[in-house]
Amino acid sequence: MTVLVTGGAGYIGSHMVHALRDAGERVVVLDNLSTGRRWALPGDVPLFVGETGDEALVAAIIGAHEVRAIIHFAASIVVPDSVADPLGYYRNNTANARTLIEAAVKGGVRHFIFSSTAAVYGTPATLPVAEDAPLQPESPYGTSKLMTELILRDAGRAHGLAYAILRYFNVAGADPQGRAGQSTPNATHLIKVGVQAALGLRPGLQVYGTDYPTPDGTCLRDYIHVSDLAAAHSAALAYLRQGGASRIFNCGYGRGYSVLEVIEAVKRVAGVDFPVSFAPRRPGDAAAVVAGNGRILSELGWRPQLDDLPTIVAHALAWERTLRTRNDAGA
Ligand SMILES: NC(=O)c1ccc[n+]([C@@H]2O[C@H](COP(=O)([O-])OP(=O)(O)OC[C@H]3O[C@@H](n4cnc5c(N)ncnc54)[C@H](O)[C@@H]3O)[C@@H](O)[C@H]2O)c1
Ligand SMILES: O=c1ccn([C@@H]2O[C@H](COP(=O)(O)OP(=O)(O)O[C@H]3O[C@H](CO)[C@@H](O)[C@H](O)[C@H]3O)[C@@H](O)[C@H]2O)c(=O)[nH]1
């Protein structure tokens, strides 16, 4: 029985591939390498370069490798890009996911784990936000993910596909063993941009919006270490395999940091200063998003191991240094 990881050559997916292999699972990856990197995968993990929307390809992979579980990471992920290109986001995150789910149903896949997002909540009325809060995405990205949640819910009911929908809050950091990290050249995530500024790879950092209704006027986010997130997937897979009912789980720590607090943490951990300027709000950004994580703690028994902002930043920084060496070597 094999686990198919879509988007396994990407940031979070590559951590998942390592976690699955560490647990002795058989893994295959489907990735179109649009943002993923072949070298992000261990050499002995089969990689199919192709589209999640290619039903024939997905069916062939499921058949050839006896795939019984799919962990679906592949997506377009940049909130402001989705505002500029909604149709592209609906194609990749919704239409392609629909095709993948159909191939899963037809191919007899039993368990499906879907990467959803805190962006489905928009700006929650109360924090921390629980899974049953109103869903009011403020960007096409969030809407594209919410639509896939609904497709999965209905297909799961109709066809007996058991699923876990994991709504990630802000994912950051890198594998503590240095095997994987965020490698997208033009990544836009705050901690990634911050460590690049600290290493002199960018001239500095812009803060998008200082007039939000938050304590210091900048957006609040709940940053979760990518290895804790991979562990949440492993827990969800074990739950489904034990016959657990289809369920939605928030993945976050339940604590928010402002953009300015994150920048201070990066400067402190890196031990350097870098220029910070203030810019207007970025389209599609919610003011404050913090996870209510009671459900995943109580129902999956998940326990964060790396719940500490300086640790997250230190791992991101270490990875960025490795990446620079790798890029210098032309990898
Ligand atoms: N990074 C975060 O903070 C965050 C937060 C919430 C949710 N998520 C979700 O987690 C998932 C993984 O995100 P990530 O940060 O690792 O991004 P990423 O861009 O590093 O990974 C996405 C991977 O999917 C591949 N891909 C994209 N479209 C594809 C397609 N049509 N067919 C095959 N492969 C395709 C890319 O090449 C890449 O390897 C996404 O679904 C994203 O929406 C991420
Ligand atoms: O150079 C930068 C980059 C980001 N920010 C701000 O930092 C916060 C976090 O931004 P970012 O790291 O880009 O993450 P989000 O836009 O919150 O989105 C991430 O987190 C979501 C879940 O909350 C996921 O769904 C998305 O895929 C993922 O990109 C936001 O307020 C941004 O405006 C800046 O001020 N300057």
- Of the pLDDT bands very low, low, confident and very high (cuts 50, 70, 90), residue 281 is very high
3-state secondary structure of 326: helix
Contact 51, 103 (CB under 8 A): no
pLDDT of residue 187: 86
The residues near 315 (Cβ < 8 Å, ≥ 6 apart) are 173, 174, 175, 176, 181, 225, 306
Ligand 1 pocket test: pick from 73, 166, 189 the residue with the most ligand atoms within 8 Å of its Cβ: 73
Give the Å distance between the CA of 239 and the centre of ligand 2: 30
Given this model, what pLDDT does residue 284 score?
A: 81
Tell me, what's the pLDDT at 330?
42
In the reported structure, the alpha carbon of residue 36 is separated from the centroid of ligand 1 by a whole-number distance in angstroms of 8
User: Quick check: 315 pLDDT over 70?
Assistant: yes
- CATH placement of domain 2-172+223-251: 3.40.50.720
Would you say the CATH fold of 190-221+254-328 matches that of 2-172+223-251? no
Q: Which residue matches tokens 């179109």?
A: 32
The rounded Å distance from CA 204 to ligand 1 centre is: 26
| Residues at CB less than 6 angstroms from ligand 2 | 77, 79, 117-119, 168-170, 188-190, 193, 205-208, 219, 221, 259, 282, 285, 289
Q: How far is the CA of 10 from the centre of ligand 1 (A)?
A: 6
Residue 13 has pLDDT above 90, yes or no: yes
Domain boundaries, the chain: 2-172+223-251, 190-221+254-328
Is the confidence at residue 319, as pLDDT, over 70? yes
> What is the rounded average pLDDT of the residues 52-73?
98
* Cross-strand pairs, 47: 29
pLDDT of residue 186: 85
* High-pLDDT (> 90) share of the chain, %: 94
Which residues are tagged catalytic? 141
Ligand 2 atom 4: residue of nearest CA: 190
Topology of domain 190-221+254-328, CATH: UDP-galactose 4-epimerase; domain 1 (3.90.25)
C-alpha 255/C-alpha 30 separation (Å) is 34
Cβ–Cβ under 8 Å, residues 30 and 52: yes
3-state SS, residue 216: coil
328 pLDDT band, cuts 50/70/90, is low
What pLDDT, on the 0 to 100 scale, is given for residue 331?
46
Percent of the chain with pLDDT over 70: 98
pLDDT tens sequence across 112-154: 999 999 999 998 999 999 999 999 999 999 999 999 999 999 9
What does pTM read for this prediction?
A: 0.97
Could you tell me which of 88, 60, 59 has the C-alpha nearest to residue 75?
88
pLDDT in tens, 99-118: 999 999 999 999 999 999 99
CA distance between the termini of the chain: 32
Average pLDDT of the residues of the chain: 96
Greater confidence (284 vs 274) lies with 274
User: What is the pLDDT confidence band of residue 18, given thresholds at 50, 70 and 90?
Assistant: very high
Q: Place 15 in a pLDDT band, splitting at 50, 70 and 90.
A: very high
What is this model's ipTM? 0.98
Is residue 224 predicted with pLDDT exceeding 70? yes
Q: DSSP letter at 291?
A: B
